[in-house]
Amino acid sequence: MDKGENRVEKLIITIAPTGNVPTKETNPNTPITPDEIVEDIIRCWNLGASVAHIHVRDKEGKPTCDRAVYKEILEKLEARGCDIITQLSTGARGGGEGVDPAEWRGQMLDLNAEMASLSTGSSNFATMVNSNSFELIEALAKKMYDNNIKPEIEAFDLGMIDNAIYLQKKGVLKAPMHFNMVMNVLGSVRGTPRNLLHMVESIPPGSTFNVCGIGPAQVPILAMSMLLGGHARTGLEDTLLYEKGVLATNTMLMERVLRLARELGREIATPDEARGILGLNKK
Ligand code: MG
């Protein structure tokens, strides 16, 4: 006789279709224009994605934080009847050289989105520093809460979890916090089971967590997140290849996460179920 089922939340799948790094040259399936991004998000939403982690590009395809481009995407998703939870990136690679980073990276936070990413520390990227001072984190967090946007705390390292706990004690961040363990970025924590377990055990009780794994770390680390009761992110932002020598599409990556979830016994959350799990109350 077995011991019965452990109660585990339904799985929230986040699609990250574009990011700041992929290009048509490195993978021609990367959605770059607002219309391409909207189409890929809708395809993945139809498959079961409940959150869209959105980055935008300018007319030349370069990363930007341009509020007008975010607005266009949000309006087009709404016009198509897509109820996916929209999560806007406030990441450090969104351009804006020479402009105040809080203004530039937070310029879109007054739009009608439900979530935004918030890195709670600094680290290295391959060609630049992922620079996030406490002053910047606090300014972005304030604008998020002022607009009823829930931060997804991007932890590229264990110390960023400790920073989030510090900021929560200071009243800058609100419990329950939702984390994204960003693993296997060059310059940050490696995507290993031991590292993920340590990070998950370091978040405050009552928190929720998502995991993304860059490149070949993705499949094992998402499987482990599912086993630990966490959530899963996929998309071309996180891996350009489906496997060695095979360029991915966003839907191919979604379908693999769905197969993993099915085999590991995790049901898929609808957007409204994800709102319940994450405590969103905007719509
Ligand atoms: Mg991102």
Torsion angle (degrees, nearest 10) of CA 199, 244, 19, 24: 170
How many whole angstroms separate alpha carbon 51 and alpha carbon 83?
A: 9
- Ligand 1 centroid distance, CA of 89 (Å): 6
212 within a domain of the structure (yes/no): yes
Q: Answer whether residue 36 is part of any domain.
A: yes
Q: What would the pLDDT profile of 209-221 be if each residue is shown by its tens digit? A: 999 999 999 999 9
147 domain-assigned: yes
Give distance in angstroms: CA of 265 to centre of ligand 1: 28
In a domain, 6, yes or no: no
Residue 116 lies in a domain: yes
Q: Would 5 be classed as within a structural domain?
A: no
| Separation of CA 164 and ligand 1 centre (Å) | 18
CA–centroid distance, 272 to ligand 1, in Å, is 23
Instruction: Say how many Å lie between the CA of residue 7 and the centre of ligand 1.
Output: 30
270 CA distance to ligand 1 centroid (A)? 22
Per-residue model confidence (pLDDT) at position 3: 64
Whole-number Å distance, alpha carbon 125 to ligand 1 midpoint, is 12
Task: Find the 237 Cα to ligand 1 centroid distance in Å.
Answer: 7
Q: How far is the CA of 116 from the centre of ligand 1 (A)?
A: 10
CA 10 to ligand 1 centroid distance, Å = 23
Alpha carbon of 233 to ligand 1 centroid (Å): 11
Ligand 1 centroid distance, CA of 108 (Å): 15
Distance CA 150, CA 142 (A): 11
- Integer Cα distance of 240 and 47 in angstroms: 20
Number of domains present in the structure of the chain: 1
Domain span at residue 126 reads 13-278
279 CA from centroid of ligand 1 (Å): 21
Identify the CATH number of the domain in which residue 272 sits: 3.20.20.70
Say how many Å lie between the CA of residue 41 and the centre of ligand 1.
Answer: 15
176 cis-preceded (ω within 30 degrees of 0)? yes
Kindly give the distance from the C-alpha atom of residue 55 to the centroid of ligand 1, in angstroms, as a whole number.
Answer: 7
Task: For 154-178, write each residue's pLDDT tens digit.
Answer: 999 999 999 999 999 999 999 999 9
pLDDT at 2: 60
Q: Ligand 1 centroid vs 20 CA: distance in angstroms? A: 7
What crossing angle do the helices spanning 34-47 and 250-263 adopt, rounded to 10°? Answer: 20
Separation between Cα atoms, residue 248 and residue 79, nearest integer Å: 28
Residues less than 5 Å from ion ligand 1, measured at CB: 89, 91
Q: What's the 232 CA to ligand 1 centre distance in angstroms?
A: 14
Sign of CA dihedral 11, 12, 18, 20: negative
**Distance of CA 4 from the midpoint of ligand 1 (Å):** 38
**CB contact at 8 A, 128 and 90:** no
What are the residue ranges in the chain where pLDDT is below 50?
none
**Dist. CA 53 → ligand 1 center (Å):** 7
Assign residue 215 a region (left: φ > 0; alpha: ψ between -120 and 50; beta: otherwise).
left
pLDDT value of residue 281:
83
